[in-house]
Structure 1
Amino acid sequence: MATKRIGILTSGGDCAGLNAALRAVVHRAIRNYGWRVFGIRDGSMGLMERPLDFVEFDLSLVTGDMLRLGGTILGTINKGDPFHYPMPDGTFRDRSSEFVEGYRELGIEALVVIGGDGSMRILNQLCRQGGIPMVGIPKTIDNDVAQTDYAIGFSTALDVAGEAIDRLAPTAASHHRVMILEVMGRDVGHIAINAGVAGGADVILIPELPYTLEGIANKIDDVRAEGRNHALMVVAEGCRTETGESITKVQSGGEARYGGIGQYLGARLADLVDAETRVTVLGHVQRGGVPSMRDRVIASAFGVHAVDLISSGRLGRVVAWQHGQVVDVPITDVANITRAVDPFGTLAQTARGLGIYIGEMPA
């Protein structure tokens, strides 16, 4: 009987822990099932290139050193939707058939996709169009993938944000300042609220809850009344202004990206609270670096389970972490569905219980 051939790719924004997942898939597939594993470079592009852009893995390429590597050795993309691909002349073209043709040319029998909710949606659509068996592994520092408590990359990003707060606290105290830390997260506040609670922030602003400048100022006044001469704020990049406007920056390709809410708040609060404000924007620092131990463990467990799903014929599934163990759910329960912070959940209630201002209670 011919040896089974599977492919694996990483898609969307990079994060720490991707290489640990790649390593786990290769080890499980080769050691336990005797399969061949092909890594597809630069997400969906690897199957759209001619000649195809891929590498065949063997165990010599996936040593323990991979666990300590940030990013992804396969490369990834977070733009260039094959169904609406931007061409050099400014037009758009449907190149989805090229992806399917590439899959067939490579001769693989199933595809492991490591991506976030947006990548899952696009890759699921591509695979359905081409009749391609697929299993998904969730990754994103935003931790907004539905049906999983943790996605690969979140733990490391959170550690980076936490370390930043720990470093900002003593300089804030030394200069009697209000320190504002802007963290990533897109349209959700998982990084912000976790880092803020763990770092002892006085104010945490997340996209899921409205706030007022007066509410922030009142909290800072309360901090002073308690005898402290400084305050710490954590704000998620996707937060809007108090009047509901998004703060974005247009990139070279014309795409608008979140960024600037920290500077906006710093300018507005400087006079309102009669204090010096300083803003730190972490940005892509949160994506890089050595993966945390938790990210390595979760990624390894996800990779092993993904291969087992293919072996058992349970396809069209996404692995997930729920209540301390790996499970799997239908991809339709994950694709393009955002898991937001629950305004009434444990973290929000904990923050309020600690006296942290996290915005106004929803109606």
Structure 2
Amino acid sequence: MHTTTVGIIGGGPAGLLLARLLHNAGIDSVVLELRDRAYVEQRQRAGILEQATVDALRAAGAGARMDAEGIPHDGIELRFGRRAHRIDFPSLTGGRSVMVYAQTEVVKDLVALQLAEGDRLLFGAEVTSVEGADSDTPVVRFVHEGREQTLSCDYVVGCDGFHGVTRDSVPESLRTTYERTYPYSWLGVLAEAPPVYDELVYAHSERGFALASMRSATVSRLYLQVPNGTDPADWSSERIWDELDARFALDGDPGWKLERGRVTSKAVLPMRSHVTEPMRYGRVLLAGDAAHIVPPTGAKGLNLAVADVVVLARALARWRETGGTELLDAYSDTCLRRVWRAEHFSYAMTTMLHTGPAQSPFETKLQLSQLERIATSPHAAAELAENYTGLPLPR
């Protein structure tokens, strides 16, 4: 049997950052990741980092490459009614902004630090069960390199995502689930093409939502609203580019077209909202997607995971230093306040910008009215900007 202070299930950004924060606090941990290193480092996810996430990565010692290669953004552009309006973040938030830096790169940075300086990180470790959540030493059972093994811990943290085993190891009678499934998905595309604009563009159109983001000066990340169940193979490169042109079109520039390039990957992403309460069961705690999912419109998924583990690392450090559990006892309530704020913002952005399959003209007028309000009211724009750049982490 292996032993450690904190067993971390899941080697994505939440689990890896938690391990790094615990290492910096002198607390040992073991990270168990189901997939191999190559898969983990290539897993495409969000690329927008809130100010608090940027600050947390820097404080953890994982910000050097992000600062060198990330792309700071001071705003976004909203397109609706074939017009464009920019939201300036610093002027509306007291100076806050966001950073475009892909989750794949965050993970690469954290993996390299963990392997060079941190405690054990086991790839290809399949967790089969978590036992003894209500005991002083919960146990994680897993298979690694063909052998069944056990890990005895003081605390277990599930950072293993929406489909992980940690949440399901807790009896349903002890947890409550809140969820919503949306009647559309995103077709996500990576393309060897320069960005549409030097900031993100969110477009509302009668044809459906579109988003233009970027990975670098030569690689674009693009999204199209599509019906649930869409097969990416049905979308040729020409069809993708034609639809993007139509949804980003502006009356003031009728000849405007995106600069096209080779589409290197495409996948359909479902849209859902999901929260599990509480986020702690005895000595088993949930963080990131294991506890909550948001639709990607608000760019909150990765940032919520970072906020969770920052709060949790502080709580574990307090416990190690003083024996006190007051911060651990407050962990779930502390995180859920931020989670529900992000759920609301993500829901509002999603329903404001997407066209439902049975949407009425009345509903479309309501969307356009809200977008117009944001474009003309500093107070409405500030509400969007403050939520988008991220609320301060709890102290």
Q: TM-score scaled by structure 2?
A: 0.34
Q: TM-score scaled by structure 1?
A: 0.36
Q: Select the structure that is richer in strand.
A: 2
